[in-house]
Amino acid sequence: MENPENVIEVRNLEIDFHTYAGEVKAIRDVSFDLRKGETLAIVGESGSGKSVTTRSLMGLLAPNAEIKKGSIMFHGEDIIKKSEKDMQHIRGKDIAMIFQDPMTSLDPTMRIGMQIAEPLMKHKGLKKKEAIAQALEMLKLVGITNPEGRINDYPYQFSGGMRQRIVIAIALVCYPEVLIADEPTTALDVTIQAQILDLMKDLQNRIDTSIIFITHDLGVVAGMADRVAVMYAGKIVEYGTVDEIFFNPQHPYTWGLLNSMPTLDTEGGSLSAIPGTPPDLLDPPVGDAFAARSDYAMKIDTEKQPPFFKVSDTHYAATWLLHPDAPKVTPPAEIIRRQKKFAEMQRPEPPIKTATKE
């Protein structure tokens, strides 16, 4: 491990999918760290590779996927090199996962108590009775009312929000070091979303776990994450603290994302959208993959891959606009407004972090 603070270090990860049409280069040279106790949000549109990246951490890639390059270091060992048997001991114990749709992610024919108890029996070698007793504690922890009366119920007897609480209970029952949440609130009502997010934050503090939060909902990111990585076309294009990404974004794609998010300050009636569609990863573009959709694309964007330029110690962006020779461009009005706010946030010392997160 390069940094003892890191729980997971992903370096130069490249993943291809073998399809009838050819090799889809889904993940193209992705590197990131997950620090102890933090929440890292990975944002990006569908197909940007955020789910594939996290599935590779679990060793749960589809059979037609192939890890071409890179390493995923966890506890000083490379997860990629581990056998399926070894991965089974990591999954659910050290790294756990919450899925998108709580309506379908529970086994409809098994009592929920048993479903929560399963990882305990597998990883901690508990007898069924002890495991069920702990499952009951977990049910209380995730806020299921009358847990004694409900532990023997089946999933169909619960609402979507309650089911997601149960899924969270399953994921956290072994107190994993890393929790991967793959769009855990996408399928839920907005009011329930907030409850689930609060629950996750609360549990994160209690059991001291690091969270990788995958989402395309920037509103959720603002409330949850410590750091944000923005993915586009199989690459991370920008990463930084949540304030840096929200108020001082540098990559045109991040601008587009933030610009298309409605805020209370949004003026006028229509929402802006990013024009065009993501590139075909069967044959990814040579330079900046976002160039074709960007209003700020320069000639070099179509010729050469931009490296990461440092904005601050914690903030990096892969765009040629940050090159010293690049012409000064004017970002969209909304972004200028955000950057102004960021400048204000920087001025008073020390920076008031929590107040600006809202």
Interacting residues with other proteins (CB under 8 A) = 58, 60, 87-93, 96-97, 99, 101, 104-110, 118-119, 122-123, 154, 156, 167, 170-171
Measured from the CB atom, the residue of 57 and 233 that comes closer to other proteins is: 57
State the virtual CA torsion across 70, 73, 76, 77 in degrees, nearest 10: -70
Measured from the CB atom, the residue of 87 and 133 that comes closer to other proteins is: 87
Measured from the CB atom, the residue of 115 and 248 that comes closer to other proteins is: 115
Min dist CB 211 to other proteins, Å, is 15
Tokens 């409850």 correspond to 195
Min dist CB 133 to other proteins, Å, is 18
Min dist CB 290 to other proteins, Å, is 31
Measured from the CB atom, the residue of 109 and 270 that comes closer to other proteins is: 109
Min dist CB 337 to other proteins, Å, is 41
Min dist CB 80 to other proteins, Å, is 17
Measured from the CB atom, the residue of 98 and 335 that comes closer to other proteins is: 98
d(CA 236, CA 30): 6
Min dist CB 149 to other proteins, Å, is 16
Min dist CB 77 to other proteins, Å, is 16
| The 3-state secondary structure of the chain, one letter per residue | CCCCCEEEEEEEEEEEEEECCEEEEEEEEEEEEEECCCEEEEECCCCCCHHHHHHHHHCCCCCCEEEEEEEEEECCEEHHHCCHHHHHHHECCCEEEECCCCCCCCCCCCCHHHHHHHHHHHHCCCCHHHHHHHHHHHHHHCCCCCHHHHCCCCHHHCCHHHHHHHHHHHHHCCCCCEEEEECCCCCCCHHHHHHHHHHHHHHHHHHCCEEEEEECCHHHHHHHCCEEEEEECCEEEEEEEHHHHHHCCCCHHHHHHHHCCCCCCCCCCCCCCCCCCCCCCCCCCCCCCCHHHCCCCCHHHHCCCCCCEEEECCEEECCHHHCCCCCCCCCCHHHHHHHHHHHHHHCCCCCCHHHHCC
Measured from the CB atom, the residue of 172 and 203 that comes closer to other proteins is: 172
Measured from the CB atom, the residue of 118 and 288 that comes closer to other proteins is: 118
> Contact 227/314 with Cβ under 8 angstroms?
yes
Measured from the CB atom, the residue of 138 and 321 that comes closer to other proteins is: 138
Min dist CB 106 to other proteins, Å, is 6
